[in-house]
Structure 1
Amino acid sequence: MLKRLMLITLLAAAPLHAAEKPPLRYLQKVDGMMTPEQQQTTLFQDKLGAALAHQLGRQVKYIALPRRRLMVALENGEGDILCSYLPEWLPGAVDWTRAFIPTSEVVVSSPHVKPPATVSDLRGLRLGTVLGYQYPELEKIIGNDYIRDDAPTSVMSIRKWRAGRIDYLVTQRSAVNRQLAEGGLPPGYHVLVIYEVKAKCAVSRKSQITVDEVNAVINAMEKSGEMAGILKLR
């Protein structure tokens, strides 16, 4: 009887113990040129953050920051995790999970120009790019033989392309998919894939959560099928 009472007590205390854990501080990139009221995060990032936190037995706290502040926040321990990046895109003193988020970079051509058949056909062209972003996979093929037309953010770069100020836009496939869903792409546009990879999550070395814990959670979510459903939101 005593053992049974002890077991009941432990089970009753378990949820309270989980609730007492600090929340998972999930970093999300936002447009540094917009006000907080104008910011929009993606459903994919919202769902992934909530799911990871749930599997870790924590609540989730979203922290929205412009791109230039993301790695600083992780290195300083102001956030726990950031997802959908690779070390070469955002270098810093953090730990990286295994790759699991399919992502691709593409060139979108306007309907009134000849679309490139290969990435090599982009040599010498003016490409819509984002200030401060690097394009290592593109430059592996054509080097610096292209003209950057930088916009402050990816959102503004897409707006320039839609307004006809540039004919070719370098962006993520997920951004194209969002524009397509919102009816923001003109008929006759063309998409050329530059590369396809699987991105990772960066985990702060000052976090109470370790990269091994996050990898274990990712494995469990893939095994249960939960991750596949979340990835469809990209």
Structure 2
Amino acid sequence: MRTPIMAALLVLAGAVQAADKPPLRYVEKVDNLLGATMPVTEFQDTLGAALARQLGRKVEYVKLPRNRIMAALENGDGDVLCSYLPEWLPGDVDWTRAFIPISEVVVSSPRVKAPATVAELRGKRLGMVLGFRYPELEKILGQDYIRDDAPSAALSVRKWLAGRFDYLVVPRNVIDKQLSKGALPRGYHILTVYEVKTKCAVSRKSQISAADFNNAIEALDKAGELTKILKLR
């Protein structure tokens, strides 16, 4: 049986181990608008801290705009970036196993007929995020649509609510948050584009390998902690 003294010694040993290793540099995408940095999500902060703890390291958050996150990994200025797939963010990096569920949807305004399929969006103006790729949607539509970009998903939602366009392409969890706040108009419609599990991109110049991260993810999963973290999305 683990005594309070033994538990304290284990915590102390972990702290000493973390102090001996360089911190885990967890890259987070942030949106800088008019000089104001939008806060990152609780999910990303919590996942970064949990991975660092499993790896016996402290965590250091590297907060960058979207157009600099892959360069940070390729240059060795960060160790890991989560919630992406190689086809969304191509680069000279390694990838962990897939474990973060993401669902992308099209939300239609109440003033238009709800599309039954993605193909019915051909030629339509779609609210999207600047610099973000939509490969699953493009498999169906090609380039036969008009992009109306915003710097972030949150601002894209605002533009849609303001009537700037009728069709909004966003992750499902973004809409769920709006729904919980009662911010969505009556009569809106949701069409799922795809559901997938995303991964973490790992710098090839990092001291921590993709296999190390996979082991940490597995440990969090077995402990039941990963399920709690994923609920924060």
Give TM-score scaled by structure 1 length.
0.90
CA distance in 1, matches of 2:169, 2:12: 53
CA distance in 2, matches of 1:28, 1:90: 14
Tell me how far 1:216 sits from its aligned partner: 0.6
Does the 8 A contact of 1:44 with 1:231 survive in 2? Answer: yes
Q: Which residue number in structure 2 is paired with residue 150 of structure 1?
A: 149
1:20 aligns with 2:20: yes
Tell me how far 1:153 sits from its aligned partner: 2.9
CA distance in 1, matches of 2:12, 2:66: 42
Tell me how far 1:92 sits from its aligned partner: 0.6
Tell me how far 1:34 sits from its aligned partner: 4.8
Q: Which residue number in structure 1 is paired with residue 81 of structure 2?
A: 82
- Cα distance, 1:19–1:107 mapped onto 2, change above 3 Å: same
Q: Which residue number in structure 2 is paired with residue 134 of structure 1?
A: 133
SS of corresponding position for 1:91: coil
SS of corresponding position for 1:47: helix
Structure 1 unaligned residues grouped into runs of 5+: 1-8
Larger Rg computed on CA atoms? 1
Q: Which residue number in structure 2 is paired with residue 6 of structure 1?
A: none
Does the 8 A contact of 2:14 with 2:56 survive in 1? Answer: no
CA distance in 2, matches of 1:54, 1:217: 9
AA in 2 matched with 1:85: Y
Q: Give the CA RMSD over aligned residues.
A: 1.9
Tell me how far 1:139 sits from its aligned partner: 1.2
CA distance in 2, matches of 1:148, 1:109: 15
Does the 8 A contact of 1:33 with 1:153 survive in 2? Answer: no
Give the 5 Å matches for 1:199-214: 199-214=198-213
CA distance in 1, matches of 2:51, 2:130: 31
CA distance in 1, matches of 2:99, 2:70: 20
Q: Which residue number in structure 1 is paired with residue 58 of structure 2?
A: 59
Give the 5 Å matches for 1:72-111: 72-111=71-110
Tell me how far 1:13 sits from its aligned partner: 5.8
Tell me how far 1:214 sits from its aligned partner: 0.2
SS of corresponding position for 1:103: strand
Structure 2 unaligned residues grouped into runs of 5+: 1-8
Tell me how far 1:41 sits from its aligned partner: 0.9
Per-residue Cα deviation, 1:129-188 (whole angstroms, up to 9, x for no partner): 222222110111122221222223323222110111111011111211222233322222
CA distance in 1, matches of 2:90, 2:116: 32
SS of corresponding position for 2:211: helix
AA in 2 matched with 1:145: D
Q: Which residue number in structure 1 is paired with residue 31 of structure 2?
A: 31
